[in-house]
Structure 1
């Protein structure tokens, strides 16, 4: 079906404008997606095993600005400091000091993040470098206050930066980026082709959080006495139950009876050892408008139906949270209900929905799925409802036959000015 549909829509996306999110837009989203504060967490950084905190995203934003988002590796060198000092350029001196203050990091916090996520190669290299240098000046635990123009140790800092440049150059083959921009742009075109067949569309973004309960001995005894339960499986630790659940869940497509056109999904393990399943959907809104409450209810019902009869059902609990309200807080103007054709609105929708699934990977990529599943193989899974598209195509063909009284016949050339002779 995919080939048949694709061949009939070769030129429908030629004018698609694939605009990308800016770094500022990506980080504004990430700060709301990973919003737990590390300083208020019950655990200390030394006992945390994996996860991303709000402070992690703040640090990544600074490091990306200083290490990635500039033309020449690092923004200021010793010659810049010397020129500014000789010229008594106070503004430039302040810029340099502020720049290197932004490179101060909490190494333990960033290692907690890197244990389950991949960062940009230069960012990862810098964290490893700071961690490897004893008493490195860029460690936050080595400083109580930020540097000022009066106490900035410029000679030591520029020496350390030269060491880091050498460290990175020697390890370039190790620190490679896996982000593929052309790949997600190609998928954007496939989505645009699909939705162009509909009169009206709706979008939805949700996160479903799954966790495994650690039942009491009394509850566990009640389950193991049930003839339909497996005592061996029921006695497994919560982490193993969750892993088994992920392996099963990876083969499921959670959409229920929603009129879906395309979906994007990705999975990660968060700081609470929960499976965080994020799903974005474009829905056919031609016949009815579904409210966020209806969409959430359908997702809950579909998950409940699919888990029925599985041994892990008593142990798995989940919560469905609407995420596209983040767009409202950001004031990005994403319109959920779009009457087609509307190129401007479709461009805006694709920019944000594909941006938060694909572009975010250039900054932070989950890598903490141990189970051998499609989620571990593909960071983002895109599905297009080709069966629905073929049904629409067939319906359009039937309507065309009805209008022509059967099989459409080729029209004859007719000259209205030609004289018709009657016998």
Structure 2
């Protein structure tokens, strides 16, 4: 779900006050020997999509602890609003309530450059019942309505046929003016990311990107890395650690100047390496979830101004709004966050449309380092505290309403965002 941003969440948000979910888990006694496994409610999802996530097996004693973990894994697929289990003797039955598949809906996202963008989208969450999701969408910024536009197609799945090869594909076109970096972004992007899980908690990563930017060179990207993932869930993580290292090369082609009326000046070509470290740790006590994350990207080589990092906004640093005064080649984003589960995930339904929702209070500390060369110093560092409320919903993971405050700025900043910040920080410039 790297960049799928359709807001089926709108429906869930309207309905939170009106619908309360009911825990439908009947359960099964620990130690009951499982003679057979059945599935109920899989109208649009193939059995094998579920089976590859299960830990309880036929011929083994049932474990409630295993079910709690596999339920988190099944919810992580973002295909079900509720998962419950029951057993009649040794006959184990899993019951599923599927999320709606086809979504014609508003589409939105927030970026440091364009602010809030609104548009339309058509998405399918579960193509062919294989946990393949695809989406087409159009968005325009509310700040420069119909001037800053984005067109995109996304597709992704955690498996390729029977292989544990996760893939994410993006094809997008952007036509907007970048107020922060002061240039017109007329670009095309083709992106394929791969995640091969060769061991239960270890993956090999690869990325291939082609970017065509007006008045600049064709900018290819090739990257490889690895990840250790011991989280209980990728979505709404409660416990575990994640560490990723990626090495990517960007650019290296000759500058290409397009013909334009009155003449134009090339923005040049890039040629640099990016060394990325992404570390996350989570721990839960009762209803309190503590998370600590660090994203560091160091880029030796020739980086042009149009790819400088900007810090400020809901997707990077919540102590200021994004502007041209804080740009740099390298970055480090640090975060310590405490979440209180005010309302845990609840299933609900309206006119046959199934969804879920949850509510969390959050408070935390953002640290931001951005610099151009050498080692960063204290003059490159800013810190802010923030608090807010998150609405947990299907497809977009969460809607974030937050207020940040930096002592250096002296006034609160209000933010709205979608998806986990640890995800949006990775691709906020695209």
TM range (shorter): under 0.3
Larger Rg: 1
| TM-score (structure 2 length as normaliser) | 0.25
Q: Which structure shows the bigger proportion of residues in strand conformation?
A: 2
Q: Which structure shows the bigger proportion of residues in helix conformation?
A: 1
| TM-score (structure 1 length as normaliser) | 0.26
